[in-house]
């Protein structure tokens, strides 16, 4: 049984093997999604999308049994359509809420991890500074946030427009 799915993301790699062209789509998750096709018009559309945000429509079906995970099957994903610009059709009314959220774009997850590490490091510098006085604590928290911001500026020093918003 096969079902049609969509993924919004950026093509990070194109591989050709045995007459098949495979597009690797980064949608901000832990793993990329690989979509395959032999159809020349789709190959041209996929290559034309380049590194722009696009909506990739594909049909997913069970493949051969997975010997590494008995009882499961490999997933075949066949590319059906590419729409540059991320203008996806609205999700069906019965779609689960997890499929309706805006996907993370490459870099968002790394940026969040960096911010958490910077804040934790900065808070470690002020460890033991907080006391019983709320006014003094507020001043210390503001100092922590300002120091964290300076760390973050330093981390992104090689980027022309750092994402500090």
Instruction: Report which of 5, 1, 7, 4 is spatially closest to residue 105, judged by C-alpha positions.
Output: 7
- CATH code, domain with 28: 2.40.50.140
Rg (CA), the chain: 23
Segment 31-70, tens digit of pLDDT? 889 999 999 999 998 888 887 889 999 999 999 999 999 9
pTM: 0.52
Give the C-alpha separation, 61 to 68, whole Å: 18
pLDDT confidence of residue 51: 79
Give the C-alpha separation, 104 to 107, whole Å: 8
**Enclosing domain of residue 61:** 2-99
Looking at the structure, tell me whether residues 48 and 83 fall in a common domain. yes
């Amino acid at each position: 049984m096969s079902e049609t799915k969509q993924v919004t993301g950026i093509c990070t790699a194109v591989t050709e093997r045995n007459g098949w062209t495979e597009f690797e789509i980064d949608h901000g998750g832990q793993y990329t999604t690989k979509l395959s096709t032999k159809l020349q018009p789709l190959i041209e559309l996929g290559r034309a999308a380049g590194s722009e945000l696009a909506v990739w429509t594909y049909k997913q079906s069970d493949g051969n049994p997975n010997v590494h995970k008995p009882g499961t099957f490999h997933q075949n994903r066949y590319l059906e359509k590419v729409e540059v610009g991320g203008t996806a059709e609205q999700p069906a009314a019965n779609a689960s809420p997890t499929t309706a959220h805006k996907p993370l774009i490459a870099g968002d997850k790394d940026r969040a991890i960096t911010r958490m590490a910077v804040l934790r490091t900065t808070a470690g510098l002020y460890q033991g500074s907080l006391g019983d006085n709320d006014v003094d604590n507020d001043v210390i928290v503001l100092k922590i946030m300002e120091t964290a911001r300076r760390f973050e500026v330093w981390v992104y020093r090689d980027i022309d427009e750092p994402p500090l918003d």
